Amino acid sequence: MKRHPESGFSLVELLISLSVIMVVSALATPSVITSLASVKMISTAQSFASLLQDARMKAARDNKSYAVSCVQNDYTTVPAAIDGCSIIFIDVNGSGTYDSTLAGSTGRMEMDIQVASAVKFTTTDPSVALGTPQLSFDPNPTAAAVTPTGMARFSPRGLACQIETGKCVNITTGGAQTGFLYYMTSRDVLGNTHYAAVSASPSGRIKVWKFNGTTWN
């Protein structure tokens, strides 16, 4: 009687295959972690840009100015600086605080976004410390002057504006055009730092930027 060889893998072949898989996984893990952190950063930036665009469109539609402000996770505490922002919202009634009754009403009047975990807003341009050119946008007021209450405002014409003598002006008495600039930073578990930015030009054009370690694009 003729016997056929048994099919399958030997123990040695299985061990070799497992070793190869483990090596490939070890090499790929840092790249995956970095990519996920970058995606989270850009997703937050895009959500914030979308909220600014909503505020701009609402201002034009309702023929009044609206501000974008932020609070902490408890929905009531206004942080001391923008790096403490957890929830960013359109301040419909101008209170400077999040109104949950408006947020829960039909149409979500005070629309909001949740800032992703580990992502922080900052006024510091990372390209300056690295000796590379700054983001090609000069905001007014300066990034350092931006506060959690009224992070950005838009006029009934959909233009970026700031409060001056009780009015939301696109051009200040000093002749400076109003625009806003926000930086975001995040550090992944490997210690790598990621950066993004969102700009709102004086004309109301909103754009998301990503820093690749050398330049903004």
Calpha distance 95→72 (Å, rounded): 16
Calpha distance 57→158 (Å, rounded): 7
Confidence of residue 95 (pLDDT cuts 50, 70, 90): confident
Confidence of residue 19 (pLDDT cuts 50, 70, 90): low
pLDDT of the residue at 126: 78
pLDDT of the residue at 12: 65
- Name the DSSP class of 4: P
Calpha distance 21→184 (Å, rounded): 36
Q: Tell me the C-alpha to C-alpha distance, in Å, between residue 188 and each of 33, 113, 124.
A: 7, 21, 19
pLDDT of the residue at 63: 94
pLDDT at 107 over 50: no
| Number of alpha carbons in the 13 Å side-chain half-sphere of residue 82 | 22
Calpha distance 59→42 (Å, rounded): 26
Digit-coded pLDDT (tens) for 29-45: 555 556 677 788 888 99
pLDDT at 147 over 80: yes
Structural domains in the chain, sorted by start:
32-211 (3.55.40.10)
pLDDT of the residue at 28: 45
